[in-house]
Structure 1
Amino acid sequence: MTRHTIGTRAEWLAARLELLKAEKDLTHRSDEVARQRQDLPWVRIDKDYRFDTDSGRVLLADLFQGRSQLLIYHFMFGPDYAAGCPSCSMIADGFNGYAVHLANHDVMLWAVSRAPLAKLQAFKQRMGWSFPWASSSPGDFNRDFNVWFTEEQQRTGNIDYNYRREPAFVWRAGEEGGAADSHAALAGTDTATFLRDRPGMSAFVREDGTIYHTYSTYARGLDGIWGIYPWLDRAPKGRNEADGVWWRHHDRYDTR
């Protein structure tokens, strides 16, 4: 028997109208936060970042492909992974559709990872993805944008991620079989190695031949581009994650 509140249609409508006020307030607040993002000062990029792509080795400027704006998803896929991070993969499952529309609105969308290009290409083929994906292994791009850390930083507590300092081995204090352990196993690596790469997204603009960094976000800041969560937030039981991590690579679900 259900434990949820049961009501009449009139009671439902009254409650729905109250919720509508809150939803409208949230929408207006979201619009204001978006304006604050766009008002951030731009920071000039002077470093010659290089990437390996399907078209060969290119510079950051080449990733724009004639557009004035560039969005990069920092996809967790280190050189020692056998597969991409399951969470990043679930986010990236929506990129094929988004990338086409963004490219026709003066915005290029790329995924960037540290794994060598051949690994990215093989996993991309496995997942059935077509969006552009570059390897940053030739340079310091991931380090400079705070989505890759060394083993020494990890061991000594010298990691600044998501705009705060992390204590040493903070993730190792979790319970056996936690989210990081589960995802590391699905990515084919150990937990410590898995967590030296991190997720995030960064935005860039190009004006008069100069590239500027405009915005970066990490961790829960990525919820807004995680396409499945707005749907789950509207489902009757919400995200329903009391039992922890449930998602897999989309070709690893039991399809019974």
Structure 2
Amino acid sequence: MTEAEKQQSLPRIVSPQEWLAARREFLVREKEFTRARDALNAQRRELPMVAVEKDYVFEGPDGDVGLLDLFEGRRQLIVHHVMFDPSWDEGCSSCRFQIRDLGHLPHLHERGTSLALVSRAPYAKIQRYKERMGWSVPYFSSYGSHFNYDFHATLDESKQPLLINFRTKEEHEEAVGPWDVWGHELPAVSVFLSEGDTIYHTYSSFSRGLDILIFTLNYLDLTPLGRDGG
């Protein structure tokens, strides 16, 4: 955006009284959105869940572990599927931005929830990448397993029938266009609940569905220049 375009996009200059009137009018819409979001969150919690039948194996700093180990003794687990193909030297830049924007994980831990990063890259690559980034968040490799394919964070028809943001290949191509225009790796989050030794998959989200998790962008949404910044 050029400087001229930025100037044209700036808000109107008004009196304090006009600003207050406009702000109060907008507050009505904000409250409607808050109530709608609360209702949506409640509906998300009421979604059915499905038992995870496979014994997935991941590699981490202490060797091979199972999916239940990623819970770290807590009842809930959020897996952030980081786009990192085995042939790449590092994860994608947008995923890197999201990981750097993660909050203070102990706040999740206090509420019985763990968060872990998972990529298809071999653990040796992940370890070097994690050290270079200076990250402390748990990060595991699913290299050689079907984990990413089964939860549709990696798209490969030879591994799993395609489901692209919950659409079949045909539905996606009819609604959006070619499915592989952005490649085979997707930004995704999967959520799991443990009941004893049984694990349930409760929720997944992809692409723009992860927007709400990026604190920086949500802060920028409050500003007049928005996500384009200064």
Name the TM-score, length of structure 1 as normaliser. Answer: 0.78
How many Å separate the matches in 1 of 2:111 and 2:179?
Answer: 41
CA contact (8 A) 2:164 2:179 kept: no
Aligned residue in 2 for 1:34: 41
Per-residue deviation, residues 151-173 of structure 1 (Å, max 9, x unmatched): 769xxxx742101234485555x
CA contact (8 A) 1:79 1:115 kept: yes
Aligned residue in 2 for 1:103: 109
Aligned residue in 2 for 1:205: 193
Q: Secondary structure at the match of 2:55?
A: coil
Per-residue deviation, residues 171-224 of structure 1 (Å, max 9, x unmatched): 55xxxxxxx5xxxxxxxxxxxxxx211111011001132110000011111111
The one of 35, 46, 50 equivalent to 1:43 is 50
Structure 2 counterpart of 1:76, one-letter code = M
CA contact (8 A) 1:151 1:196 kept: no
2:100 matches 1:93: yes
The one of 147, 155, 159 equivalent to 1:149 is 155
Aligned residue in 2 for 1:196: 184
Structure 1 counterpart of 2:64, one-letter code = R
The verdict on how the C-alpha distance between 1:22 and 1:169 changes in structure 2, with shifts beyond 3 A counting, is closer
CA contact (8 A) 1:71 1:202 kept: yes
How many Å separate the matches in 1 of 2:134 and 2:207?
Answer: 25
Per-residue deviation, residues 50-100 of structure 1 (Å, max 9, x unmatched): 1001111001011111100000011101101111111111111123x3322
Aligned residue in 1 for 2:166: 163
Q: Where does structure 1 lack aligned partners over 5 or more consecutive residues?
A: 173-179, 181-194, 242-256
Offset at residue 228 of structure 1 (A): 1.5
Q: Secondary structure at the match of 1:100?
A: helix
- Name the Cα RMSD after superposition: 2.0
How many Å separate the matches in 2 of 1:232 and 1:30?
Answer: 19
The one of 203, 216, 219 equivalent to 1:228 is 216
Aligned residue in 2 for 1:58: 65
How many Å separate the matches in 2 of 1:54 and 1:81?
Answer: 20
Per-residue deviation, residues 198-254 of structure 1 (Å, max 9, x unmatched): 11101100113211000001111111112221111011111229xxxxxxxxxxxxx
How many Å separate the matches in 2 of 1:36 and 1:227?
Answer: 23
Q: Secondary structure at the match of 1:72?
A: strand
User: Which stretch shifts more, 68-77 or 117-126?
Assistant: 117-126
Aligned residue in 1 for 2:202: 214
Aligned residue in 1 for 2:118: 112
Name the TM-score, length of structure 2 as normaliser. Answer: 0.87
Q: Secondary structure at the match of 1:83?
A: coil
How many Å separate the matches in 2 of 1:171 and 1:47?
Answer: 27
CA contact (8 A) 2:77 2:115 kept: yes
CA contact (8 A) 1:52 1:138 kept: no
Structure 1 residue ranges, 4+ long, deviating more than 3 angstroms after superposition: 1-4, 166-172
